[in-house]
Amino acid sequence: MKIKGSAKKLTAKTVIVAAAVLGALLLGVRCWQSFALIDPATGFFTDHKNITVMPSYILAVGIALIVPLLAYLTPLSKAEYIAPAKRPLHAVGCVALAAGIALDAVKPLFGEEKTRLTVVTALLGAAAAAALINCSTAFLTGRDLVRKAKLLMVFPALWALAKTLTYFSYYTSYIKVSALLLAIFADVFLMIFLFEYGKKVTGLGGDGNSPSYLASALVCAALQLSAAATGIAGLIKQTEFLYTPFALYRLAAALFCITAVALFLKNDVPDYVPKAAIETHPLEADEAPAPEKASEKAPEETETNDEA
């Protein structure tokens, strides 16, 4: 698809700034609601006519629509994969998310709501944590460890899928849906980003997933921070929000996504050139035959004519 008009002026920085502004607004609104407007026992707003209720919905949906649209309109790098390099900041993000996933996966095993799905989620969480530790090692040492263990990168996305399904594995009333709506929304985008991240770091995504990688990372970071606000408010107020307790993996996921965006922007791999384009245009201008070769053949043709 060709980009026309002012869309050519869009850059990755434009997308990041838009996501940051919308995310900051949603986070601010959600923090205020968590402290002053949400009933910890039900998750309901105590005043449905409050001026912040409708803007919070609009901001959440707006982030999920506007950021991907800007990302797909922006000319982004078409690198086929992310180069192995020493990126300690992203390595920290990988370790943080691995720890958050491990803690969240193990916790239900010792609770009353233990089901087959929670056991599966715990097993997938262990595998996802191992995959992220492998990523952390790769970006700490600069060694190409991720593409040598491509299968491992499937598990973080599978864990996020299983985590999302656990919200519906037990009796869910309309009250719980009201409280968990933003949390489910955030985890869906976490699943999408972990899938795109796996494709990008292993090189299996080709040159077509750069917009979805950037967009899902930014949307996930914004939504996870906003979803974490309720749990943090509960810790500060020493009142646990019954259906949205504090979850470390939400803050870790936001950190992981932000460092993954920085990783994408610093990638040193050149843009991917499709094989079909190389076959169609095998010679570039600087590879054309030198004009001297034609002049070298001229004397031979002259001698042949003289002999005739």
Q: pLDDT for 102-121, tens place per residue?
A: 998 887 777 656 778 888 98
Number of residues that make up the chain: 308
3-class secondary structure, 245: coil
> CA-to-CA distance for 236 and 254, rounded, in angstroms?
20
| Contact call for residues 164 and 187 (beta carbons, < 8 A) | yes
| Contact call for residues 161 and 191 (beta carbons, < 8 A) | yes
> CA-to-CA distance for 82 and 214, rounded, in angstroms?
13
> CA-to-CA distance for 289 and 258, rounded, in angstroms?
48
Residue burial 17-53, b: 16+ Cβ < 10 Å; e: rest: ebbeebbebbbebbbbbbeebbebebbebeeeeeebe
Helix extents (H) in 74-209? 88-106, 116-141, 155-166, 174-202
Q: What pTM was estimated for this model as a whole? A: 0.78
pLDDT at 55: 83
Q: What residues form DSSP beta bridges with 79?
A: 271
Q: pLDDT for 158-197, tens place per residue?
A: 999 999 888 776 555 544 445 578 888 899 999 999 999 9
| Contact call for residues 92 and 76 (beta carbons, < 8 A) | no
Q: Which one, of 164, 190, 207, lies nearest residue 260 by Cα?
A: 190
State whether the Cα torsion 110-112-115-121 is positive or negative.
negative
- Greater confidence (278 vs 26) lies with 26
